[in-house]
Amino acid sequence: MEHLISINDLGRAGIERILDRADEFGGVAAREVQKVPALRGRLVVNLFYEASTRTTSSFELAAKRLSADVITVRSEGSSVEKGESLKDTIATLDAYDPAVIVMRHPRAGSAALATRWTDAAVVNAGDGAHAHPTQALLDTQTLRTHLGSLEGCSIWIVGDIAHSRVARSTAAAFTLMGARVTLCGPPTLVPPMIDNALGCTVTHDLAGLGEADVVYALRMQHERMRGGDVPSLREYSARFRVGLERMRPGQVLMHPGPVNRGVEVTGAAVDSAASLIPRQVSAGVAVRMAVLYELVAGAERAHPAGGEVAA
Amino acid sequence: MSGRLAWRGGEPADLTILGGRVVDPRENLDSVLDIHLRGGTIAEISEPGSTAPAGDAFDAGGMLVMPAFTDPHVHLRTPGQEGKETIATGTAAGAVGGYSQLIAMPNTSPAIDGPDILRGILARAAEEAVIPTGQMGAITLALKGDALTEMDLMREAGAAGLTDDGMPVANAGVLRKALRYQSLVGLTIALHEEDTSLSLGAPMNEGEVSARLGLRGQTGLAESTMIARDCAIAEAEGARIHVQHVSDSRSIDAIRLAKERGLAVTAEASPHPLLLTEGACSTLDTRTKMNPPLRFEHDRLALIAALADGTIDCVATDHAPHSLDEKEQPFEDAPFGVTGLETSFAALYQELVGEDKLQLRTLVERMTSGCIPFGIPEPRLQVGRNAEIAVFDPTCSWVAGQGGWASRSANSAFAGWRFGGRIALTIAGGVKVHTLERSGDRS
């Protein structure tokens, strides 16, 4: 694998390979010295055109635990705001000879475009509403750990599908791992033909939720809402808020965070034993370590820092 | 009327085009003939070898000899964006594609929205244009959709017609005023049909591809409902309208209905929606980003059927040059538009005529009808006429864009396509404006 742009770059075998490696890296956090030398002397650049505390910190920590040097570039106050093109920004960062550029950008396709202008491996940390493959990997890891396997399992993704890169990437990953995915939300927040596009079932009614093994609630992204896609959050919540009263025992709850308690999901559900949300967060670092390792050490096994990964 | 086309002219050709298959459906011609040009005029059309050639000879054996093409919709980017295209380079691209007449859009910087600037552009065309070129004037000042331009003074200055192309006339009241005022002016009003409350300026079609990629999509309703609205207003006011770059099957239904009701409406379609669908946008190649966007296969098939039955009157390329810097951006940030003049006939001949989806004679008619809605006579292969001729070599295989473009820009949706045939010779206004250099690329 040269870059990680979308989950489809991996396929099922690739997902399993990375998650197996993440299992190994998962032990690193438990050690006294929480580091392995795999990426020593290599540079990881985080390039974030959108603020995201949790994704940036998760990637920074993953890179540091692999002993890489890390710099984080945010668009605020940078040359980007002075109108520099993506091409020139990437070319400038490329001059530092990074091993990996981790990129978050508000436009679909921007990470793929960046690969044209750098020799570094590019990790897509979110491009518009298109893809967020490391989120999908950590979600898959969380479920794999909890359920053993996703084969034949029914997963409902509920909420603002239209504006969600998480929905697209997790749906693709879950499907590749053998799960059946249902997308549920108001018609104005579910794009036409997305069932064909992603190979999922679409419903606008939460009544059938009992069928699900896993309920994956999406953040209601008010900042992205254009032209009043729902009349009010109150009305949205009345029809689509996930809560314990709508779930059946044995179901588990997931959410990519940050949670709007009381909007897309009730606080009680978030705090309940059904919630896997804290596990998603902790899976993030190990999964991102595995991705960085795969892209750098995995691609050049002869590299001196490679080979001796085992935690 | 053709006084409204300006160009630099040239030396009238004394030339005999020998032994080509001469196809002009309007003249009932489809056989192997010689065409003799003297002083730029078609002096004789005769059986092969029956008259000795005077002057130069062009061996058109195995080639198609047609009336040259006319394009009612090109962007020459002058004034203001000459880095993308100039009148000289855009019209040279037309010559390479077999065209003898182009009509340029007024959405320049600044817009061509008054008689003085329009006169200035036509004066520039008289110096630079390689083939005869007309200039549209805007319907509203600065294409803002509010105040009407000095439409009649622009007519006097030589405008080919009126359009706010690039922008719809969103306000129905303003459009109604323009269409009522048209009776005084007489110029055809060409309409970019888009309800922006439905299209939302989205970068591609609303469909499976936009759903997968997480991009906002434009529903075809943005076009079809606007066409239905404007046809209703035009019918009530007895106006003459031309519908630009049709892309959606329901738009075709609306145009067909309007024509059945006797409305003076004409319509154009571009090679891209005739040959490509939204699937071409899957890789987010910005050379597939255009407005209206590439749509579904059923829209494409409906468009081909409409081109065949005449609901769509003519092919227009909507040649829209953009610089590499602008197109080398994320899909949403890149500007709409693709070039088209240099590939249109080769692409449509190969993909429609070659695949038996359209008769050659129909394609020739649609390629040559573009100026008719604007009162400019179509090219014909007729003795006594100033020669306007395109010769196509169906055996000359080439890869589009390899070896560069005559256009100043390279944003072609067909770049990298291999075409089996190519325009070998173009005569415009009696002057030889393009000859293909046959540097061994004849297969």
Span B339-366, pLDDT tens digits? 999 999 999 999 999 999 999 999 999 9
Residue A1, pLDDT score: 80
pLDDT band at A232 (very low <50, low <70, confident <90, very high): confident
B80 pLDDT more than 50: yes
User: In the beta sheet, which residues pair with residue B33?
Assistant: B20
Over chain B, what is the mean pLDDT?
Answer: 96
**Residue B208 corresponds to which tokens in the numbers above?**
């499976």
- A138-185 pLDDT per residue, tens: 999 999 999 999 999 999 999 999 999 999 999 999 999 999 999 999
Measure in Å the smallest separation between the Cα of A190 and chain B Cα atoms: 9
Residue B349 three-state SS: helix
Question: How far apart (Å, rounded) are the C-alpha atoms in residues B4 and B155?
Answer: 9
**Interface contact A194-B217, CB threshold 8 A:** no
Closest chain B residue to A196, measured at CA: B208
Please name the member of A85, A105, A108 whose beta carbon is closest to the beta carbon of B215. A108
**Rounded Cα–Cα distance for residues A102 and A295 (Å):** 11
Q: Do B215 and A129 touch (CB under 8 A)?
A: yes
Nearest CA in chain A to B206: A192
Strands B64-67 and B69-74, by their bridges, are unpaired
Q: Which of A86, A110, A193 sits opposite B211 (nearest CB)?
A: A193
Query: By the CB < 8 Å criterion, does B333 face chain A?
Result: yes
Q: Are B373 and B72 in contact (CB under 8 A)?
A: yes
Helix A165-176 × helix A133-147 angle, to 10°: 50
Looking at residue B435, its amino acid is: T
Residue A228's pLDDT band, with cuts at 50, 70 and 90, is: confident
pLDDT category at A75 given cuts 50, 70, 90 is confident
Split at pLDDT 50, 70, 90, the class of A78 is: low
**B284 at the A interface (CB within 8 A)?**
yes
User: Chains A and B: how many Cβ contacts under 8 Å?
Assistant: 65
Mutate to test the interface with B, among A107, A166, A189 (most CBs of B within 10 A): A107
**Minimal C-alpha gap between B277 and chain A (Å):** 15
Q: What is the pTM of this model?
A: 0.94
Question: Does A226 sit within 8 Å of B212, measured CB to CB?
Answer: no
Residue pair B61/B19 in contact by the 8 Å Cβ criterion: yes
Q: Is the peptide bond before B115 cis (omega within 30 degrees of 0)?
A: no
Nearest to A194 among B211, B284, B328 (CB): B211
* Separation CA A303–CA B12 (nearest Å): 71
d(CA B6, CA B2): 9
Q: How far is A96 from chain B (nearest CA, A)?
A: 22
Contact criterion met (CB < 8 Å) for B213 and A112? no
Give me the percent of chain B exceeding a pLDDT of 70: 98
Question: What is the SS3 assignment for B227?
Answer: helix
Q: Is B215 on the interface with A (CB under 8 A)?
A: yes
Residues of B in contact with A197 (CB under 8 A): 208-209, 211-212
* d(C-alpha A207, C-alpha A276), whole Å: 22
Query: CA-CA distance, A159 to A190, in Å (whole number)?
Result: 9
Q: Band the pLDDT of A80: cuts 50, 70, 90.
A: low
Q: Name the least confident of A119-123, A307-311, B86-90, B362-366.
A: A307-311
Which residues of A fall below an 8 Å CB-CB distance to B?
85-87, 105, 107-110, 112-113, 128-131, 163-165, 168, 191-194, 196-198, 226-227
Order of strands across the sheet that contains B99-104: B69-74, B99-104, B133-135
B326 vs A: CB within 8 A: no
Residue A160 in contact with residue A189, Cβ under 8 Å?
A: yes
- Mean pLDDT across the stretch A130-138? 98
Interatomic CA distance for residues B249 and B207, integer angstroms:
14
Percent of chain B with pLDDT over 90: 96
Which of A59, A30, A31, A24 minimizes the C-alpha distance to A45? A59
Structure tokens that stand for B286 in this block: 């910005």
Mean pLDDT of B73-98: 98
Q: Which residues contact A94 (CB under 8 A, 6 or more apart)?
A: A101, A117, A118, A119, A120
Mutate to test the interface with A, among B208, B281, B285, B326 (most CBs of A within 10 A): B208
Q: Tokens 């055109």 — which residue? A: A49
- Give the residue numbers of B annotated as catalytic, written as ranges: 318
Q: Give B207→chain A minimum CA distance, Å.
A: 6
Q: Chain B contacts of A126, Cβ < 8 Å?
A: none
Query: What does DSSP assign to residue B106?
Result: S
Please state the rounded mean pLDDT for residues A91-117.
96
Minimum CA–CA partner of A193 in chain B: B208
Sort out which chain A residues have CB atoms less than 8 A from B279's CB and list them.
Answer: none
Nearest C-alpha in A relative to B212: A197
Q: Which pLDDT tens digit goes with each residue over B242-286?
A: 999 999 999 999 999 999 999 999 999 999 999 999 999 999 999
Q: How many C-alpha atoms does B414 have within 13 Å on its Cβ side?
A: 28
Contact A293, A1 (CB under 8 A): no
pLDDT score at A306: 39
Among A16-20, A25-29, A140-144, the range scoring the smallest mean pLDDT is A25-29
In chain A, what percentage of residues exceed pLDDT 90? 79
The answer to whether B328 contacts A85, with C-beta atoms less than 8 Å apart, is yes
Whole-number Å distance between alpha carbons of B438 and B443: 10
The reply to whether B324 touches chain A by the CB within 8 Å rule is no
pLDDT over threshold 80, residue B194: yes
Q: How far is CA B225 from the centre of its chain?
A: 24
- Min Cα separation A64/chain B (Å): 30
Write down the ipTM of this complex: 0.92
Nearest CB to A198 within list B200, B207, B212: B212
pLDDT (0 to 100) of residue A300: 54
Q: Where are the beta strands (DSSP E) in A75-205?
A: 100-105, 121-127, 154-158, 180-184, 201-203
> Rounded to whole angstroms, what are the CA distances from B133 to A190, A262, B150?
47, 64, 21
Say yes or no for a CB contact (<8 Å) between A196 and B208: yes
Candidate from B206, B217, B331 with C-beta closest to A109: B331
pLDDT, average across residues B158-167: 98
Banded pLDDT at A81 (limits 50, 70, 90): low
**Residue A77: its pLDDT value, please?**
58
Out of A86-95, A227-236, B381-390, pick the least confident: A227-236
* Alpha-carbon span B213 to A131, nearest angstrom: 8
A126 to chain B, closest Cα gap in Å: 11
Partner A contacted by B297 (CB < 8 A) = no
Mutant choice from A90, A104, A110 vs B, greatest count of B C-beta within 10 A: A110
Q: Which chain A residue has its CA at the smallest distance from B283's CA?
A: A109
